[in-house]
Structure 1
Amino acid sequence: MPTIKFANVLLEKNPRSLSYPSLYCKAEGSLLEDKENNTWIMYDRGVYDFSTYFNSLSVQKLQKYTRAKKFYLHLELQGAAVSVQQTKGGVFSAHPEPVGDPYKLKASDEWQTLDFELQIDSDAVIVGFEITTEGKVAIRNSYYSLDFEGDFRPVEFVLSTTTFKKESFIERNIGLVKEQILGSGDDIAKHFHMYVIDNGRTLDAEALSDDHVIVRPNQNVGGAGGFTRGMIEAMEQKPQATNILLMDDDVAVSPESIKRTYNLLRILKPQYADAMISGAMLNYEIGEDQWEDTGFMTEEGTFAPAKPPLRLTKYEDVVFNEVFKLPKAITKYNQRYAAWWYCCIPISVIKEEGLPLPVFVRCDDAEYGVRCQRELITMNGLCIWHMSFHVRYNAAVERYQTTRNTMIAQCTTGFAPHSDFMHELHNNIRLELKKFGYANAELCLDAFEDFLKGPRFISKPGVAEATFMRANKRKEQLVGFEELQRQAEDLHITGFDISQITRQLVDSDKPRTRLERLQDYATNNGQRLLKTEGEGYAVIPLLGWAYPAGVIRGKKYLIVIDWYNKKGAIRIKDAARYEEIVKRYERDLKYYRKNIDRLRAEYAAARPELTSVKYWKNYLDME
């Protein structure tokens, strides 16, 4: 049987590994990089446990998705005497469990090689190893390998990333690709291209590009247009790509994740040849926390992670991440997707299903994943680190883009048929009005009305960018804390002192009686029926989905705080503006009910054109 070097034992030096070393190795002593000799030093006597998120081997999933039959560990060690113990994690393992007898090496100033077959039983979800040292030991060139049935699948691999003025992230990732993938000597280096679609046209394309890394200056067509450009480039390159990995620009990534993705593709079983591989999103600022690896659309019309949050420095969570079974609430509707912060798609699937919709940003990846209905493969060690959503909340995205794009997608390709996006629209408008977020409620209606214009509107080149820019201008504008304090004083808001505000206060709420709940429901916080001017102020979080019902009731002013970015805004209760928005919404609903059947037919009829290469080449000005 042929053998493949599947996964390197990964040790790297970056802000994530320095802050969260237990993602790589849980050590009783210091583990230091020796750059001069390209090795790592286990400096002190003790146990170095590599049964971790990055350095355990996901044997259960490899047995399911690939033709792997046997598994091996290769270690190269130098220095003091060591004992190497294989470990495994079963479904209920809270800690690594030893397997078999340890392998021992005597002290040596020469490099010693240890190769052994890993023992896999029916209970094994992941396997790993521990090294117990008697003193200083160096490690290098260590990896897991697999014996597999059949031949290697031919893979021509493309990495495509879309960027808009994120030079520091992109240039760093290009450097990592050139050094650790193209310069690695591994098989992937001979079958790899990277396309950087520069929507901001700020990168030095000539300086950054070479035979394998190509920077393409592009129109500002959002993530949807940028990734579509990457798909077209992958389909038209020579040799044609077999798989394309879509990856966000503002992420940190380990090149080892990309190498493992490539290796996985080479040994997939035939029935998984058209599967998508989904990389997890780890929190950029809390690097051990996994936020999502796949998502799904809820019945209420919201995006949600399929798994609960996990802390990947905990062994039990590393195991749980691999054995998690989707609950029936998710599987019954087949509305699951892989986000495009790290999603590898077969080119054959793109040819069969067509290209994405021209919706600029938000919902493009979810729509495409649900449309394609392919197996989604996830695996420990395949991931990126991305800024969490709560630190970059943008009403132009969440209230305009999300509202419009989910409705367009549902009508055009049948996206998420069991999700009620009209319910979500109504809920968001009601929520914003209760919190005096009139500008953001109007964004919801802008989105709804643009959807009601039909496919001819969104299909025009330039419209997606123009409407997003318009939404950013119309959304509630935040100011710095110093200006916020000045505005509060000009409005004679008694008692507000930003220097005394804490996160505890911003995120707090208080209970309501049943009568108060009924009153708030009936009056929308005193803005209809029994109207009140309100009095005093409350401090609330910026996040649109937050509803601190107890603290906002009866207030005249609501001061929204984005504590992470140290900005805020003052909302003033305005029953007249509330009434204008409600009347506008009622007019829109009347038009919607009268025309929705026609709109659904028009959007569905536009699908072949909107997802075609011909349309997109014209849209992207490629011809």
Structure 2
Amino acid sequence: MTVDFKLSNVVLTVDDHAADHPELYYRAQAGAARYEDGAGLELTGTADFLTYVNGCSACKWRMYAGLQEVWLHVEVAGAGEIRIDAVASDASDRQVFSAHAVDAAPDSPVALDIEVPTAGEDLIGFIAVPAEGERLVIVRAYWYAKVDPARINEVRLALATTTFNKEAYITANIDLVQAGIRAEGAPILGNFHMFVVDNGRTLDVDALTDDLVSVLPNPNTGGSGGFARGMMAATEHPGEFTHVLVMDDDVRIMPESLIRTYNLLALAQGPYRDAFINGAMLSLEDPVRQFEDVSFVLNSGAYRRVKTDLHMGSLSDLLVNERTNVEVPNAYGAWWYSCIPTAAIEKNGLPMPFFIRCDDVEFGMRNQPVFMTMNGICVWHESFEGRFRASVDCYQYIRNFMAMIAVDDCASEGLFIVRIRRSVRQDLRDLDYSAAELLLDGFEDYLKGPQFLESLDGAELMRQNGARNERLMPVEDMDPELLRAAGVTREVLSHANVESQASRFMKVLRSLPYDKHYLPKPMLGTRPGYVVKNGAAMIEGESLARETLVFLDPTRTKGTIRHMDRARFRAIRMREHELLRRHRTIGKQVRQAWKDAFPYLTSREFWTKYLGLES
């Protein structure tokens, strides 16, 4: 005996944040599709549902759940045709699989259930084609499988999201989750709960808490402390939840992603029963751009995405997204959307108390999980270009990554030290003294050992370090004469590329251990230069032998003026040499101290004390 088990809904409404990109949901000529609440999607022209949100990822369901066939259920009124298209595993183009005529009165929709074998197919979708002069109304549609009830996994899903003074985002997401889960009903309703960890303690607990949502006031302990609190709530009573889905607060979500996550967990088989699911991050500014789903750590300590940017409105990129293997060594999933078995938390511990940065990476290094990903399981988040903050991207990153190397042996400490030295050198060449200083602060605080982190007021340190970040101003407020002298033309400002444009010669030159601070003043150019950087990465510009630099962020809408400071340069270099000497002397003992403290720093005992939860 088998039962029908839903895999995914066909989403007929385009979310507000993607209103200009309905091709994520369906492709139709302008004006040919109109959604009416309660009635469905009315079509006066052809609509293609083999898309990021609404296609069926046959290859993933076959691999993760062993499904050999799926069914499309579609309730439709009007006259026309429902056509099934599929892309074979060895193909790049779609082929017609089957076609099914529809002839139903406008107020009497008919239900079609269409079987589609998944063997040899990677993506499956359908096209709705109204007859000439007629309309089709898609009232409801979903993909499902027929499965043995005995093979359905027991799933109880907790969503843990952490917020700090972002009431507009989090209350909107609470409303979306509430409406989406209640509308879906069983099996997710009754096996789902949302924990909102309020690090700012600004939410109305009584107004927002109900049978589906719990608001947990929390001290400001950053993302690490917030997610630790959510994990603790989900594992407080053993067996209450099987999985915890950690999610950022400043994202736009699609409740369907939660439903698909639940359904995938319920059907996952073999090694995937204990797998993590990582949702992709798409850009709020460019909603069809997928930035990342799974990444990994190199031996040098550098991060790499498994996939480059993908355009989710393109069939070819949809195929790349599903065909690319994300099961790579040293993989991690960022915590904008990451679903974790509670068994992994109970076995391997809670997050490290890093406040922010590297907590999700370290959790991946510690657990070395198998990852599942799938089209349509995602969030939309603001892009990272132009969001560099030295207090986070230098201080937090260096301190926490060094600790991660110590506790997880996930990268070469020697190579990472080389990267630290190179980063200091490049910051100094670009006259970014604050970044170099904060980077060395992170190195020094790592050398203080785990006791420093154990007693740290992370929020206060973030405030202090944040005050040292370089202040940028709108380009239009900068001195136009200085911009012209530096070579910042309209063409430079209008360029949208965020990848390095440096020549091979310049890349080699920037790798050499020289510095203009050692040159006498007569050898320095009198004309200012300019640099465009995306974080630590040089995109374009020229800083060679320049005493004054115009710095532009990757959006080229903000920047600042930097001036050479030889005294500050000397102080930074002397401090760098002293810290390297100290690391050579005590580095092994410090690394062992972090490793020894690791079980306690990730324990329920530590976090209960750190969060002030002792009864």
Q: Which amino acid aligns with 1:211?
A: D
Contact residue 197 and residue 229 of structure 1 kept, 8 A: yes
Contact residue 196 and residue 214 of structure 2 kept, 8 A: yes
- Select the residue among 335, 343, 348 that pairs with 1:348: 343
Q: Distance in 1 between matches of 2:474 and 2:375?
A: 41
Q: Which amino acid aligns with 1:474?
A: R
Q: What residue is the counterpart of 1:596 in the other structure?
A: 587
Percent identity over paired residues: 33
Q: What residue is the counterpart of 2:461 in the other structure?
A: 467
What aligned pairs does 1:126-275 form with structure 2 within 5 A after superposition? 126-134=123-131, 135-149=134-148, 150-236=150-236, 240-275=240-275
Q: What residue is the counterpart of 2:85 in the other structure?
A: 87
Asked whether 1:32 is paired with 2:31, we answer no
1:58/1:482 Cα in 2 relative to 1: closer, same or farther (>3 Å)? Answer: closer
Q: What residue is the counterpart of 2:120 in the other structure?
A: 123
Q: Distance in 2 between matches of 1:352 and 1:431?
A: 42
- Say which SS state the counterpart of residue 188 (structure 1) adopts: coil
1:510/1:137 Cα in 2 relative to 1: closer, same or farther (>3 Å)? Answer: closer
Asked whether 1:96 is paired with 2:94, we answer yes
Q: Which amino acid aligns with 1:33?
A: Y
Q: What residue is the counterpart of 1:457 in the other structure?
A: 452
Offset, 1:225: 0.8
CA deviations on 1:93-124 (whole Å, 9 max, x unpaired) are 44431113x11012423333333343325320
CA deviations on 1:286-342 (whole Å, 9 max, x unpaired) are 11111111001123322221112111111111111111135xxx94xx211111111
Q: Distance in 2 between matches of 1:461 and 1:244?
A: 27
Contact residue 296 and residue 331 of structure 2 kept, 8 A: yes
- Say which SS state the counterpart of residue 547 (structure 1) adopts: strand
Q: Distance in 2 between matches of 1:271 and 1:569?
A: 51
- Say which SS state the counterpart of residue 268 (structure 2) adopts: coil
- Say which SS state the counterpart of residue 385 (structure 2) adopts: helix
In the alignment, structure 1 segments of 5+ residues that lack a partner are none
- Select the residue among 468, 471, 483 that pairs with 1:477: 471
CA deviations on 1:68-93 (whole Å, 9 max, x unpaired) are 343111111112x1111111112354
Contact residue 301 and residue 423 of structure 1 kept, 8 A: no
Contact residue 90 and residue 319 of structure 1 kept, 8 A: no
Q: TM-score, normalised by structure 1?
A: 0.91
Aligned residues: 607
Offset, 1:603: 0.6
Asked whether 1:372 is paired with 2:393, we answer no
Q: What residue is the counterpart of 1:528 in the other structure?
A: 518
Q: CA RMSD in A?
A: 2.7
Offset, 1:193: 0.7
1:73/1:493 Cα in 2 relative to 1: closer, same or farther (>3 Å)? Answer: closer
Q: Distance in 2 between matches of 1:446 and 1:495?
A: 35
- Say which SS state the counterpart of residue 456 (structure 1) adopts: helix
1:356/1:417 Cα in 2 relative to 1: closer, same or farther (>3 Å)? Answer: farther
Q: What residue is the counterpart of 1:77 in the other structure?
A: 76
- Say which SS state the counterpart of residue 75 (structure 1) adopts: strand
Q: Which amino acid aligns with 1:343?
A: S
Q: Which amino acid aligns with 2:155?
A: V
1:233/1:522 Cα in 2 relative to 1: closer, same or farther (>3 Å)? Answer: closer
- Say which SS state the counterpart of residue 390 (structure 1) adopts: coil
Q: Distance in 1 between matches of 2:123 and 2:369?
A: 25
Asked whether 1:573 is paired with 2:545, we answer no
Contact residue 365 and residue 408 of structure 2 kept, 8 A: no
Contact residue 96 and residue 315 of structure 1 kept, 8 A: no
Q: What residue is the counterpart of 1:387 in the other structure?
A: 382
What aligned pairs does 1:331-342 form with structure 2 within 5 A after superposition? 331=328, 334-342=329-337
Contact residue 363 and residue 402 of structure 1 kept, 8 A: yes
Asked whether 1:618 is paired with 2:609, we answer yes
1:519/1:155 Cα in 2 relative to 1: closer, same or farther (>3 Å)? Answer: closer
Contact residue 503 and residue 563 of structure 1 kept, 8 A: no
Q: Distance in 1 between matches of 2:225 and 2:406?
A: 20
Q: Distance in 1 between matches of 2:604 and 2:506?
A: 58
Offset, 1:546: 2.9
Q: Distance in 1 between matches of 2:507 and 2:164?
A: 47
Q: TM-score, normalised by structure 2?
A: 0.92
Q: Which amino acid aligns with 1:221?
A: T
